[in-house]
Amino acid sequence: MALHVVRHPLVEDALAALRDRRTASEEFRRLAHRLSLLVVAEATRDLPTVEEEVETPLEVTKVRRLGRRVVAVPVLRAGLGMLDAFLEIVPSAQVGHYGLERDERTAVARRYYEKVPADLGDAVVYLLDPMLATGGSAAHAMEGLNGVGGRTVRLLSIVAAPEGVAYLERTIPDAEVYTAALDRALNDRKFILPGLGDFGDRLFGT
Ligand code: PRP
Ligand code: URA
Protein backbone atom coordinates (compact mmCIF):
# COMPACT_ATOMS: atom_id res chain seq x y z
CA MET A 1 0.00 0.00 0.00
CA ALA A 2 1.27 3.50 -0.77
CA LEU A 3 1.10 5.93 2.16
CA HIS A 4 1.98 9.56 1.45
CA VAL A 5 2.33 11.87 4.45
CA VAL A 6 2.23 15.42 3.10
CA ARG A 7 5.18 17.32 4.59
CA HIS A 8 4.84 21.09 4.37
CA PRO A 9 5.28 23.90 6.91
CA LEU A 10 1.80 25.23 6.09
CA VAL A 11 0.32 21.79 6.75
CA GLU A 12 1.98 21.78 10.19
CA ASP A 13 0.75 25.30 10.91
CA ALA A 14 -2.87 24.57 9.99
CA LEU A 15 -2.83 21.23 11.83
CA ALA A 16 -1.63 22.93 15.00
CA ALA A 17 -4.72 25.13 15.10
CA LEU A 18 -7.05 22.35 13.93
CA ARG A 19 -5.97 20.11 16.81
CA ASP A 20 -6.47 22.87 19.40
CA ARG A 21 -9.67 22.17 21.38
CA ARG A 22 -10.33 25.93 21.63
CA THR A 23 -10.73 26.27 17.84
CA ALA A 24 -14.41 26.89 17.13
CA SER A 25 -16.34 25.58 14.09
CA GLU A 26 -16.00 28.69 11.95
CA GLU A 27 -12.22 28.65 12.19
CA PHE A 28 -12.12 24.84 12.07
CA ARG A 29 -13.86 24.93 8.67
CA ARG A 30 -11.40 27.45 7.28
CA LEU A 31 -8.43 25.41 8.52
CA ALA A 32 -9.86 22.16 7.16
CA HIS A 33 -10.29 23.88 3.79
CA ARG A 34 -6.73 25.23 3.80
CA LEU A 35 -5.23 21.89 4.79
CA SER A 36 -7.31 20.07 2.20
CA LEU A 37 -5.97 22.35 -0.55
CA LEU A 38 -2.44 21.25 0.32
CA VAL A 39 -3.35 17.55 0.49
CA VAL A 40 -5.29 17.70 -2.79
CA ALA A 41 -2.42 19.49 -4.54
CA GLU A 42 -0.06 16.69 -3.49
CA ALA A 43 -2.45 13.89 -4.41
CA THR A 44 -3.10 15.26 -7.89
CA ARG A 45 0.49 16.04 -8.89
CA ASP A 46 0.83 12.89 -11.03
CA LEU A 47 -2.44 13.22 -12.98
CA PRO A 48 -1.84 12.86 -16.71
CA THR A 49 -2.14 15.81 -19.08
CA VAL A 50 -2.76 16.05 -22.81
CA GLU A 51 -1.24 18.51 -25.24
CA GLU A 52 -3.43 21.13 -26.88
CA GLU A 53 -2.94 24.45 -28.67
CA VAL A 54 -4.27 27.85 -27.62
CA GLU A 55 -3.87 31.25 -29.13
CA THR A 56 -2.41 33.78 -26.73
CA PRO A 57 -2.87 37.47 -27.65
CA LEU A 58 0.51 37.12 -29.41
CA GLU A 59 0.75 33.64 -30.99
CA VAL A 60 -0.36 30.05 -31.01
CA THR A 61 1.30 27.92 -28.35
CA LYS A 62 1.19 24.38 -27.04
CA VAL A 63 -0.40 23.92 -23.62
CA ARG A 64 -1.24 20.96 -21.45
CA ARG A 65 -4.68 20.25 -20.02
CA LEU A 66 -5.87 17.69 -17.52
CA GLY A 67 -6.12 14.39 -19.37
CA ARG A 68 -8.03 12.16 -16.99
CA ARG A 69 -11.54 12.09 -15.62
CA VAL A 70 -11.58 12.87 -11.89
CA VAL A 71 -14.29 11.99 -9.40
CA ALA A 72 -14.39 13.17 -5.77
CA VAL A 73 -16.40 11.18 -3.24
CA PRO A 74 -16.74 12.79 0.19
CA VAL A 75 -17.67 10.43 3.01
CA LEU A 76 -20.59 12.05 4.82
CA ARG A 77 -20.44 13.97 6.98
CA ALA A 78 -16.86 14.89 7.73
CA GLY A 79 -15.59 14.51 4.15
CA LEU A 80 -17.77 17.46 3.13
CA GLY A 81 -15.19 19.64 4.90
CA MET A 82 -12.69 18.73 2.16
CA LEU A 83 -14.96 18.99 -0.88
CA ASP A 84 -14.84 22.72 -1.61
CA ALA A 85 -11.03 22.62 -1.53
CA PHE A 86 -11.05 19.67 -3.92
CA LEU A 87 -13.34 21.46 -6.37
CA GLU A 88 -11.26 24.61 -6.14
CA ILE A 89 -8.26 22.64 -7.38
CA VAL A 90 -10.11 20.31 -9.79
CA PRO A 91 -13.19 22.30 -10.89
CA SER A 92 -14.09 19.76 -13.57
CA ALA A 93 -14.40 16.88 -11.09
CA GLN A 94 -17.64 14.95 -10.83
CA VAL A 95 -18.89 14.38 -7.30
CA GLY A 96 -20.35 11.29 -5.66
CA HIS A 97 -21.45 10.89 -2.05
CA TYR A 98 -20.95 8.05 0.38
CA GLY A 99 -22.79 8.10 3.71
CA LEU A 100 -21.16 6.14 6.52
CA GLU A 101 -21.65 6.31 10.27
CA ARG A 102 -19.62 4.58 12.96
CA ASP A 103 -21.60 2.93 15.71
CA GLU A 104 -20.67 4.91 18.84
CA ARG A 105 -20.26 1.72 20.90
CA THR A 106 -18.57 -0.69 18.48
CA ALA A 107 -16.93 1.85 16.09
CA VAL A 108 -18.11 -0.33 13.18
CA ALA A 109 -19.19 1.74 10.15
CA ARG A 110 -22.63 1.31 8.61
CA ARG A 111 -23.47 2.63 5.14
CA TYR A 112 -26.65 4.70 4.92
CA TYR A 113 -26.26 6.38 1.52
CA GLU A 114 -24.42 5.98 -1.77
CA LYS A 115 -24.71 7.91 -5.01
CA VAL A 116 -21.71 7.97 -7.33
CA PRO A 117 -21.27 8.73 -11.04
CA ALA A 118 -21.60 5.76 -13.41
CA ASP A 119 -18.70 3.99 -15.16
CA LEU A 120 -15.94 4.83 -12.70
CA GLY A 121 -13.47 2.59 -14.53
CA ASP A 122 -11.70 5.34 -16.48
CA ALA A 123 -11.63 7.84 -13.59
CA VAL A 124 -9.24 8.60 -10.77
CA VAL A 125 -11.54 8.50 -7.77
CA TYR A 126 -10.60 10.55 -4.69
CA LEU A 127 -12.32 9.40 -1.53
CA LEU A 128 -12.43 12.33 0.90
CA ASP A 129 -12.51 11.37 4.59
CA PRO A 130 -10.45 13.43 7.02
CA MET A 131 -10.15 10.76 9.75
CA LEU A 132 -8.64 7.31 9.19
CA ALA A 133 -9.08 5.67 12.60
CA THR A 134 -9.77 1.90 12.61
CA GLY A 135 -9.87 2.02 8.81
CA GLY A 136 -13.31 0.41 8.79
CA SER A 137 -15.03 3.35 7.07
CA ALA A 138 -12.32 3.81 4.45
CA ALA A 139 -12.19 0.09 3.63
CA HIS A 140 -15.99 -0.02 3.42
CA ALA A 141 -16.07 2.92 1.00
CA MET A 142 -13.09 1.75 -1.08
CA GLU A 143 -14.54 -1.73 -1.44
CA GLY A 144 -17.90 -0.17 -2.34
CA LEU A 145 -16.30 2.04 -5.00
CA ASN A 146 -14.33 -0.94 -6.39
CA GLY A 147 -17.63 -2.82 -6.49
CA VAL A 148 -19.21 -0.21 -8.77
CA GLY A 149 -16.25 -0.17 -11.15
CA GLY A 150 -13.72 2.16 -9.48
CA ARG A 151 -10.23 0.94 -10.39
CA THR A 152 -8.04 3.81 -9.17
CA VAL A 153 -9.27 4.95 -5.77
CA ARG A 154 -7.18 7.24 -3.58
CA LEU A 155 -8.03 8.13 -0.01
CA LEU A 156 -7.38 11.72 1.06
CA SER A 157 -7.31 12.17 4.82
CA ILE A 158 -6.13 14.74 7.31
CA VAL A 159 -5.25 12.57 10.32
CA ALA A 160 -4.50 8.85 10.13
CA ALA A 161 -3.86 6.30 12.87
CA PRO A 162 -1.33 3.48 12.42
CA GLU A 163 -4.11 0.97 13.15
CA GLY A 164 -6.17 2.29 10.24
CA VAL A 165 -3.19 2.25 7.89
CA ALA A 166 -2.40 -1.35 8.90
CA TYR A 167 -6.03 -2.37 8.40
CA LEU A 168 -6.12 -0.88 4.90
CA GLU A 169 -2.81 -2.56 4.10
CA ARG A 170 -4.36 -5.92 4.99
CA THR A 171 -7.74 -5.44 3.34
CA ILE A 172 -6.88 -3.30 0.28
CA PRO A 173 -3.18 -3.87 -0.45
CA ASP A 174 -3.20 -1.62 -3.54
CA ALA A 175 -4.79 1.34 -1.70
CA GLU A 176 -3.20 4.76 -2.06
CA VAL A 177 -3.50 7.02 0.96
CA TYR A 178 -2.58 10.70 1.31
CA THR A 179 -2.68 12.23 4.78
CA ALA A 180 -1.52 15.40 6.49
CA ALA A 181 -0.55 13.56 9.69
CA LEU A 182 0.17 10.04 10.90
CA ASP A 183 -0.68 10.05 14.59
CA ARG A 184 0.33 7.79 17.48
CA ALA A 185 -2.52 5.35 18.17
CA LEU A 186 -6.24 4.86 18.89
CA ASN A 187 -7.73 5.10 22.37
CA ASP A 188 -10.14 2.50 23.75
CA ARG A 189 -13.08 4.34 22.11
CA LYS A 190 -11.28 4.17 18.76
CA PHE A 191 -10.51 7.89 18.66
CA ILE A 192 -7.17 9.00 17.26
CA LEU A 193 -4.44 10.17 19.70
CA PRO A 194 -3.45 12.95 19.82
CA GLY A 195 -5.91 13.52 16.97
CA LEU A 196 -8.34 16.41 16.96
CA GLY A 197 -11.52 14.88 18.38
CA ASP A 198 -14.67 14.25 16.38
CA PHE A 199 -14.06 15.94 13.05
CA GLY A 200 -17.71 15.98 11.96
CA ASP A 201 -18.91 17.46 15.24
CA ARG A 202 -16.22 20.12 15.22
CA LEU A 203 -16.85 20.98 11.54
CA PHE A 204 -20.60 21.33 11.92
CA GLY A 205 -20.79 22.49 15.55
CA THR A 206 -22.92 19.53 16.68
C1 PRP B 1 -15.75 9.51 11.34
C2 PRP B 1 -14.82 9.98 10.24
C3 PRP B 1 -14.62 8.74 9.42
C4 PRP B 1 -14.69 7.64 10.45
C5 PRP B 1 -13.31 7.12 10.70
O6 PRP B 1 -17.04 9.51 10.87
O7 PRP B 1 -15.31 11.04 9.52
O8 PRP B 1 -15.61 8.56 8.42
O9 PRP B 1 -15.24 8.21 11.63
O10 PRP B 1 -13.32 6.09 11.60
P11 PRP B 1 -12.91 4.60 11.23
O12 PRP B 1 -11.63 4.67 10.49
O13 PRP B 1 -12.75 3.95 12.59
O14 PRP B 1 -14.00 3.96 10.46
P15 PRP B 1 -18.32 9.19 11.76
O16 PRP B 1 -18.75 7.77 11.59
O17 PRP B 1 -18.10 9.63 13.17
O18 PRP B 1 -19.46 10.03 11.08
P19 PRP B 1 -19.60 11.61 10.84
O20 PRP B 1 -18.61 11.98 9.76
O21 PRP B 1 -21.01 11.72 10.38
O22 PRP B 1 -19.33 12.32 12.13
N1 URA C 1 -13.60 9.94 13.79
C2 URA C 1 -13.28 11.17 14.23
O3 URA C 1 -13.94 12.15 13.85
N4 URA C 1 -12.25 11.29 15.06
C5 URA C 1 -11.51 10.25 15.49
O6 URA C 1 -10.57 10.45 16.27
C7 URA C 1 -11.87 8.97 15.04
C8 URA C 1 -12.90 8.84 14.18
Return the pLDDT at 105. Answer: 93
Return the pLDDT at 8. Answer: 97
The closest-lying atom of ligand 2 relative to the alpha carbon of residue 196 is 6
How remote is the CA of residue 199 from the centroid of ligand 2, in Å? 6
CA 54 vs. chain centroid, Å, equals: 33
Q: Which residues are catalytic?
A: 102, 106, 198, 201
Return the pLDDT at 163. Answer: 98
Return the pLDDT at 129. Answer: 98
Q: Read off the DSSP letter of residue 122.
A: G
> Nearest-5° angle of CA 147, CA 164, CA 184?
165
Residue stretches of the chain with pLDDT short of 50: none
Reference 199, options 47, 19, 16; nearest CA is 19
Mutate to test the pocket of ligand 1, among 25, 80, 83, 137 (most ligand atoms within 8 A of CB): 137
Return the pLDDT at 35. Answer: 98
The closest-lying atom of ligand 1 relative to the alpha carbon of residue 167 is 12
d(CA 164, CA 71) in angstroms, rounded, equals 23
d(CA 158, CA 78) in angstroms, rounded, equals 11
Return the pLDDT at 65. Answer: 97
Percent of the chain whose predicted confidence (pLDDT) is above 90: 99
